[in-house]
Structure 1
Amino acid sequence: MSLVVRKSSPVVVRPSPETGTTRGTIKLSSFDKGLYNMPSTTLLVFEHPLHNAAETIRGALSRALAHYYPIASRIVVAGGGGGGSSGGGDVYIECNDEGVAFVAAHTDHALKEVICFDRSPAARKLLDQLAVYYPGMSCGPGDPLLLMQVTEFSCGGFVLGVTWNHGGADGAGMGQFLRAVGELSGGSPSPSVAPVRWDGSLPSLRPSVLEAQQHLLSLDPRCTTFEAALAVLWRCRTRAIRPDPEAPTLLVFLADMRKHAGAKEGYYGNCIVAQLVVDSDAVMAIRRAKDQLPDRLKEDEEGVVGRHELREIRAYDTLTVTSWRNLGFDRVDFGSGRPARVTASGKDLPPSPGAVGFLSDGRGGGVSVLSDLVRQEHADAFLAELAKFI
């Protein structure tokens, strides 16, 4: 099936004047640095009709930006660039109300006809039409911090595609923002959670943690459900791709540090770290790594993987994982109910070739998996290993 999505020209949505905004600058925290040019995309699939969905959401978006005014701003890199752990320059948000980009789109197809999630090349191309992306899949200093597209289908269902600069908010923060847009679209006078973008009480990440995180981002393209599923995938993938049992493989999962860092309620800036694991006992290694998360904030913490060892591991020997189950995207409601599905576009995979994202199914009963785990020559071996657990 050939899907034709007709898109309007992008328009700029600025904060509504009903709430006074604050000018000035917001310095990026150590959690933000290294992520300010990294885009992220989320697709929220709503099955139930919403009258004039694009205009309803656009109006609520403007009102939400009056409360979340830094999202309507621009990132500035001063002093010669970089802005990372090496101190090559300062990076901050200049609050200037320049606004975000918004696209209204529609298609003559019904949602059930065209939304498939088998992650075939054709399906990925289809999903790619449901969002707006930054040129070159990288965020420039003058780009909006948020790109939004609402695609309305002939059945009345719609898809909200949200692409944002990760330096402006992490996944939990963007989920909080979208829930606020939903609340305002339903007539609430203000968001139920007061937003906080600058929290001076947050500790600073050590340079070694930032260096490891930046290295991972530069790579080429209790036994919980998370621990069990991740352990199976990691073990099967490692056995499939590694003929030498002594060769190291690296597991990376992204963790929310809000409770460990003591972030204020409503904080929507970045508060995540990349936790690294190298071990043969997958479940226990993942559990130990989760237990060690508070240590990432300590000055004398050595880290799970040494710098030299980290740089010796190939991109293909790295499995990067993130869980979206608790980010709040599945609780967004613009007036016609919560999304039936939360997923990502085909373009929005983590940087290492072996990667998987756990995505909420929107109904609270399970998870689906977006994966790009192995090369073609390892596919049969991986599936054979996976079959042992089914």
Structure 2
Amino acid sequence: MAPDSSLTFRVHRRNAVLVGPAEQTPHEFKRLSDIDDQEGLRFHIPVIQFYRYNPSMKGRDPAKVIRDALAKALVPYYPFAGRLRELQDGSRKLVVECTGEGVLFIEADADVSLEQFGDLLQPPFPCLEELLFDVPGSSEVLNSPLLLIQVTRLQCGSFIFALRLHHAMSDAQGLVQFMTAVAEMARGHLTPSIPPVWSRELLEARSPPCPSFAHREYDVVKDTKGTLMPLDDMAHRSFFFGPREIAALRKHTPHHLRNKISTFDLLTACLWKCRTVALSLDPDEEMRIICIVNARGTKSGLSLPEGYYGNAFAFPVAVSTADKLCKNPLDYALDLVRKAKSEVNHDYMSSVADLLVLRGRPHFTVVGAYLVSDVTRVGFGDVDFGWGKAVYGGPSTGGVGTIPGLASFYIPFTNAKGENGIVIPVCLPGPAMPKFMVELDTLLKQPAESIDEQVEFAVLRSAL
């Protein structure tokens, strides 16, 4: 049973307080990287974690435990306790003034039990605005707290940990690194197992800046046909893709590539095609799929140090007309996605930084765009404050900033049958959602050459 969207409950919140570092920390200015401070990351991102009652923690208040641990973690992670400023030289460069003012913390109680949310926790979550309260004035880009945390105790002894982060400070991997540090302090550690590393100069533009890629993700496109999502009448649903669903989609790919295509690429092509069909756009409308590609690790050649918690990803984009996406088989979209992702390496990241500096740190293109991000390996669900791993951990919505329906996240999930897979929240205008579901169902049920589902079980186990 998925979360009941009609579920309502009351949350009693205490006033938000500022939690600063437990010890004195340096007062200094720290520059963000030229990847960090682009316009498309100047917003706050929400995350939510559900934790089940643990008898071994009886008598311990999760709000107090986490608040005390947070203060300790903010000593090594003291930039989070500061405030963002923008240099007044016309460059729009962001820096953190490490003031030690602290992050916002809210203690709350809800008259609901974890069981009432349903057996299968997945977005969209009911009363989300009550579980992560937007303290007035707290979500500004500049001069506001960089983190807001709300711990809500439930009637059954379970609790919900909700967090909002200014995205310019960290990506998902960097955020989980910080959350893990808080969790380690909550379990009695004296220092984080992975010391934080700033080193934002590693992702600065070259001198002089010299972009060497097209970077169509930053195209300037006017919304002449009203293709941005409306703010009202939006439908939210989550879709589960387990071994059987992935195997069914893989049947639509060229036989010689089937074992070489990643689950991410396959799902991304599928969602892009289904979403385009559902929106019923003009045939010549230009559509974009933006893939979040992690630049950490050996593939990119960046050699970022362990402990780096800044934004270290790119927004490579594939572009096609709506007509071609709708009429061509799935492998057409799949080929475009794979080619876009393959560009990301050390030179690509340097080129992105160069372009951002030359163009005044623009927002990535949102007209006709759909953004996807894979968080299956990030580790949100593994964060343990002492009560065990999260029953659900990860993104709480499918939007980016104030734009609904722009993004979907790939989240690790176990269904009612005990199958490991991926759950993907999708947000579309109300009339488009039924069309999306029909198109997806067609792809999943369309007869095609048989493929061994055991391959998909192995692939998903290794991915999760």
Please say which of residues 268-277 and 218-227 is displaced more in the overlay: 218-227
Encode CA deviations 1:315-340: one digit per residue, 9 max, x unaligned: 3x321111221222122111111111
Look up the match of 2:202: 201
Output aligned runs, 1:229-378, within 5 Å. Answer: 229-242=267-280, 244-259=282-297, 260=300, 261-279=302-320, 280=325, 281-294=332-345, 295-297=347-349, 299=351, 315=367, 317-346=368-397, 348-349=399-400, 351=403, 353-361=405-413, 365-372=420-427, 374-378=428-432
Amino acid at match of 1:177: F
Deviations, residues 251-271 of structure 1 (Å, cap 9, x unaligned) = 012222123222111000111
Q: CA deviation at 1:11?
A: 1.1
- Higher mean Cα deviation, 380-389 or 293-302? 293-302
Shift, 1:132, TM fit: 3.0
- Counterpart CA distance in 2 for 1:177 and 1:64 is 8
CA distance in 2 between partners of 1:296 and 1:102 (Å): 38
Question: Match of 1:62?
Answer: 71
| Counterpart contact for 1:26–1:198, Cα < 8 Å | no
Q: TM-score, normalised by structure 1?
A: 0.84
Letter in structure 2 aligned against 1:234 = W
Structure 1 residues 207 and 379, CA, compared in 2 at 3 Å: closer, same or farther?
Answer: farther
Contact 1:39 1:134 in 2 (8 A): no
Aligned to 1:42: 47
Tell me by how many angstroms 1:57 deviates.
0.5
Aligned-pair Cα RMSD in Å: 3.3
Instruction: Note if 1:15 corresponds to 2:21.
Output: yes
Q: 1:364 to 1:256 in 2, by over 3 A?
A: farther
Amino acid at match of 1:45: F
1:353 is displaced (CA, Å) by: 3.6
- For residue 2 of structure 1, what is the aligned residue in structure 2? 8
Residue aligning to 2:156:
155
Q: Quickly say closer, same or farther: Cα 1:225–1:381, change in 2 above 3 A.
A: same
- The answer for unaligned runs of 5 or more in structure 2 is 1-6, 232-259, 326-331, 445-464
Task: Please identify the structure whose Cα radius of gyration is greater.
Answer: 2
* Residue 364 (structure 1) shift: 9.5
Residue 210 of structure 1 deviates from its aligned partner by 8.7
Query: 2:140 maps to which residue?
Result: 139
Query: Which residue of the partner structure matches residue 128 of structure 2?
Result: 127
Instruction: Please give the TM-score of this superposition, normalised by the length of structure 2.
Output: 0.71
Superposed counterparts of 1:52-201, under 5 Å: 52-79=61-88, 87-114=90-117, 123-124=125-126, 126-133=127-134, 135=136, 138-201=139-202
For 1:161 and 1:314, locate their aligned partners in 2 and report how far apart those are by CA, in whole Å. 27
Offset of residue 286 of structure 1: 1.6
Q: 2:34 is matched with which residue?
A: 30
Residues 97 and 156 of structure 1: CA distance in aligned 2, closer, same or farther (over 3 Å): same
- Partner secondary structure for residue 292 of structure 2: strand
Q: Deviations over 1:169-206 (max 9, x none)?
A: 11111100000111111111100001012343335386
Q: Is the 8 A contact 2:103 2:145 kept in 1?
A: yes
The separation in 2 between residues aligned to 1:95 and 1:300, in whole angstroms, is 27
Distance 2:282 2:15 in 1: 53
Per-residue Cα deviation, 1:108-164 (whole angstroms, up to 9, x for no partner): 3211113675756xx44x122111336478423221110000011111111110001
- Paired AA for residue 108 in structure 1: D
Assess if the C-alpha contact under 8 Å between 1:342 and 1:361 holds in 2. no
1:84 counterpart residue number: none
Could you tell me which amino acid in structure 2 is paired with residue 78 of structure 1? L
> Structure 1 176/275 Cα, relative in aligned 2: closer, same or farther at 3 Å?
same
Q: Which sections of structure 1, spanning at least 5 residues, go unmatched? A: 81-86
Q: Distance in 1 between matches of 2:366 and 2:161?
A: 36
Contact 1:14 1:97 in 2 (8 A): yes
The alpha carbon displacement at 1:223 in A equals: 1.7
